[in-house]
Amino acid sequence: MNNGSAEHEEEGGAWSGPAGAEAFAAVEAATDWLLGYPFVFEALSRRIGADAVLVDYGCGPGAVADRAARVLGARVLGVDTSAEMLALARSSAPAVAEFHLVRDGRVTGLPDGCADAVMCNHVLASLPTEEALLGVFAEMRRLLRPGAPLVLLSTDPDCTDLQYTSLRVGAEGASYRPGEEMPLRLLRTDGTWQEVRNHAWPVDRLPLLLGSARFRDITQRRPTVDEALALADPGLVDRHPWTAERAEPPLVITSALAA
């Protein structure tokens, strides 16, 4: 954390509307680009080849979808509940093939079994109830053909003791019940910090929920800094000491196959 910087904090709902979309795009996400997204791409690369149809469920402003299209050679379809996010993604993620709006819990314009894979990054923490989680899992299962992979990236809500390079999970030393509202502080590219309200979903609860949503072969992995040395951008690796990330990696990759 840059203690000398000014802080910019907003309550939950910070990602709504045009201003919210722009704020989300300004999040630095260094920890995610070290311990998260490269491992999502690696997990997908073991299951899909070039030209596969990959849905990015909750694509936001499109940066991750765009990188996935370039790294994997996949035909990436970005979907989101926010029309403003999709508008921003259309202008900033040229490698993404299509964009689709999620309306009333269903992705518009995409038929059952259309996807060879789905990735879903940091979406679950925005959902307030277990019912909402199951609804999202069911919709992702609808999109996937049988045997196709789902890869989820989640922040562990128990990692509240450390300040990470680009995020702070919850209040220091606090513990949260499943679904309880939890603050998340994110570093912005201008050095300020933004606070949003997330919901605490224990990562060890996800396999059971995925199983009930007709997923199988569910595995979880907590990437480490040492593992990231071979996957992440070398410039990013050398940019920070990653002290907290080395002590207690905060991100978890959950992989599953559509039953």
Alpha helices in the chain (DSSP H): 17-25, 30-35, 37-45, 63-72, 83-92, 130-143, 206-212, 225-228, 234-239, 243-247
**Amino acid (1-letter code) at residue 56:** D
How far apart CA 68 and CA 75 sit, in angstroms, is 9
7, pLDDT greater than 90: no
Q: Which long-range contacts (CB under 8 A, 24 or more apart) does 232-241 make?
A: 232/33, 232/34, 232/35, 232/38, 233/33, 236/30, 236/33, 236/34, 237/34, 239/30, 240/30, 240/165
Count the Cβ atoms, other than its own, within 10 Å of residue 42: 18
Sheet arrangement for strand 193-199 = 167-169, 181-187, 193-199
pLDDT digits (tens, 9 = 90+) for 27-69: 889 999 999 999 999 999 999 999 999 999 999 999 999 999 9
Percent of the chain with pLDDT over 90: 87
**pTM for the model:** 0.91
Query: What's the average model confidence in pLDDT over 137-164?
Result: 98
Q: Judge residue 213's burial from the number of C-beta atoms within 10 Å of its C-beta, 0-12 exposed, 13-18 middle, 19 or more buried.
A: buried
Q: Are 249 and 35 in contact (CB under 8 A)?
A: yes
Q: Smallest Cα–Cα separation from 65: which of 32, 29, 21, 95?
A: 95
For the record, the structure tokens of 44 come out as 């997908």
pLDDT value at residue 21: 60
Q: Residue 200 CA to chain centroid, in angstroms? A: 14
pLDDT value at residue 26: 77
213, pLDDT greater than 90: yes
